[in-house]
Amino acid sequence: MAGPMKARARMQGNYADVRVLMSHPMETGQRKGRDGKPIPKHFIQNLEVRLNGKTVIEGEISQAVSRNPVFSFRIGGAKAGDKIEISWTDNNGDTNKTETAVA
């Protein structure tokens, strides 16, 4: 079951400043547990950002990203009130998403 996920979006001039905070272990598969055995890989693989239902960003990320990723980006052509939805899928097939309105 995925941990909390939050997003904030604010107009800055002509673009929206968006910040997404995710909780995810982002386990590389290299780390060893107390028993000496490697902890299985468990990381976000795909990230999608939709503006008013239309996909604007499709990202592939890897285990190089650290635990509890923070993703911040700007969207041109957005305006106050627009709906931004961010979703992820990890290598286990788990997903999570959150949405926010541009302030």
Smallest gap, in angstroms, from Cβ of residue 15 to other proteins?
Answer: 17
Does residue 92 contact residue 42 with C-beta atoms inside 8 Å?
yes
Smallest gap, in angstroms, from Cβ of residue 3 to other proteins?
Answer: 8
Give the span between the Cα atoms of 1 and 99, in whole angstroms: 18
Smallest gap, in angstroms, from Cβ of residue 93 to other proteins?
Answer: 19
- The values of phi and psi at residue 18, to 5°, are -115, 140
Judged by beta carbon, residue 56 or residue 69, the one nearer other proteins is 69
The SS3 of residue 78 is coil
Positions in the binding site for other proteins (CB under 8 A): 4-6, 8, 19, 21-23, 25, 66-68, 70, 72
